[in-house]
Amino acid sequence: MSVRTPDPDPDWLPKGDSSVPSNNPAWLKDVELAEIRRRLPILYIEAVPVRVDGLGQVVEVGVLLRARPTGEMTRTLVSGRVLYGETLRDALFRHLEKDLGPMAFPQLPASPVPFTIAEYFPLPGISAFTDDRQHAVSLAYVVPVTGTCDPRQDALEITWMSPDEAASPAVSAEMEGGRGALLRSAMASVGLLR
């Protein structure tokens, strides 16, 4: 099964942010993006939103629910492209705010070092991750959020579940393109899988 990493609206801006022009030169037109995807790997970030207790231990994991164009419901993680000239920290924050809403209050790490790097290929069997449109390289992070999450863009809802449930085969079966393995890897990176 392949994954379709969402392509958000290039003119999307946080509410009330007039400092960024609406015609973003870092975005490619659809035809340009299709051509680039045929020739080069594209850089993405992915984030597993979590809630932590007072000791910093993960107690809940957030998984997004999205509808595919076919009407099928799937689970996924926060994800999106890194724009030309954008820092990883800025891209991570932008996609967390875009998918979880402006009141999610993500706690970005002091050093944006991913817990893993996932390489997506258009053909299955090359790696555990597939995306039928492109070869993509994704830097994956576990990011605590402290606020209220109100999914936006193409996310219908966020489901908070225990780490054990998030790492279960049932949740993995609802995720596309190998993201179930990525979610289990995230849980392992914070010491929750043995």
Question: In total, how many domains does the chain have?
Answer: 1
Report how far residue 141's alpha carbon sits from residue 72's, in angstroms, rounded to the nearest whole number: 26
Q: Is residue 104 part of a domain?
A: yes
Using CA atoms, how far apart are residues 113 and 38, in angstroms rounded to an integer?
28
CATH number at residue 94: 3.90.79.10
Question: Which residue range forms the structural domain that includes residue 55?
Answer: 44-190
Query: What are the pLDDT tens digits along the chain (194 aa)?
Result: 444 555 555 555 555 554 544 455 666 788 888 888 888 888 999 999 999 999 999 999 999 999 888 888 999 999 999 998 999 999 999 999 999 999 999 999 888 899 999 999 998 899 999 998 889 999 999 999 999 999 987 889 999 999 999 999 999 999 989 999 999 999 999 998 76
Distance CA(47)–CA(92), nearest Å, equals 7
Task: Specify the pTM.
Answer: 0.82
